[in-house]
């Protein structure tokens, strides 16, 4: 399993071990299939290339099904719903998506938050970080105006940081699924079967 263990509560480190919703979920699937699970942590934008090249069998990283990714890999059935949200400082004048125009927005490189901000926010200065945590840190330090990131992870980051809030209105509605190489139809069928049972 290729993942990016910087995405609580889905994948993160507890000591030397990668834990979280995705790690437990993948372990349950592997168990159902009678397989051993080995988790490999890498940069988020390396997960799809690792799967499509055969370096990893699956990519499980709180990953949204989108048309660009579907050009490189197939996806299992959906296992979770998510949305992109905006994190701002508590005293920010940004009250909704329209207020992002012309602002500096922190995103995690290669995520749907990155794509959304780059393609849909007029005159935005999109700052890409390799880890979502780094974007949130830049926000707390006043280096950027907002962060666009997945809702579940936003909650974890805001809980840990002082003076931040999540805006009520989500930017997008998305579905998470497991990335599988295009030529590995057999594994996809097995995973979908295990997902249905779980």
The string of pLDDT tens digits covering residues 59-85 is 999 999 999 999 999 999 999 999 999
Name the pLDDT band for 7 (thresholds 50, 70, 90): very high
Name, in order, each residue with C-beta under 8 angstroms of 120's C-beta and a sequence gap of 6 or more. Answer: none
In 74-197, alpha helices (H): 112-120, 132-140, 151-160, 185-197
Contact of 127 with 144, CB cutoff 8 Å = yes
Instruction: Identify how many contiguous H helices and E strands the chain contains and give both numbers.
Output: 7, 13
In 53-131, alpha helices (H): 67-70, 112-120
- pTM comes to 0.86
pLDDT in tens, 91-116: 999 999 999 999 999 999 999 999 99
Give the pLDDT of residue 6. Answer: 92
* Closest alpha carbon to 191 in 28, 55, 7, 22: 28
23: helix, coil or strand?
A: helix
Give the pLDDT of residue 104. Answer: 98
Q: Which helix (DSSP H) or strand (DSSP E) does residue 17 occupy?
A: strand 17-19
């Amino acid at each position: 399993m290729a993942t990016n263990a910087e995405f609580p509560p889905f994948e993160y480190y507890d000591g030397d071990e990668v834990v979280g919703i995705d790690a437990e979920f993948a372990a349950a699937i592997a168990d159902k299939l009678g397989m051993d699970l080995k988790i490999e942590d890498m940069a988020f934008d390396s997960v799809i290339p690792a799967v499509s090249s055969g370096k990893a069998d699956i990519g499980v990283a709180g990953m949204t099904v989108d048309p660009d990714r579907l050009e490189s890999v197939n996806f299992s059935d959906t296992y979770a719903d998510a949305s992109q949200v905006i994190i701002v400082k508590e005293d920010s004048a940004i009250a909704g998506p329209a207020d992002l125009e012309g602002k500096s927005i922190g995103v995690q490189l290669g995520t749907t938050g990155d794509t959304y901000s780059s393609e849909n926010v007029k005159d935005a200065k999109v700052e890409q970080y390799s880890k979502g945590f780094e974007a949130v840190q830049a926000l707390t330090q006043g280096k950027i105006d907002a962060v666009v990131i997945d809702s579940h992870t936003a909650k974890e980051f805001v809980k840990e940081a002082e003076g931040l809030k999540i805006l009520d209105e989500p930017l997008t509605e998305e579905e998470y699924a497991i990335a599988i190489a295009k030529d590995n139809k057999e594994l996809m069928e097995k995973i979908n079967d295990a997902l249905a049972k779980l």
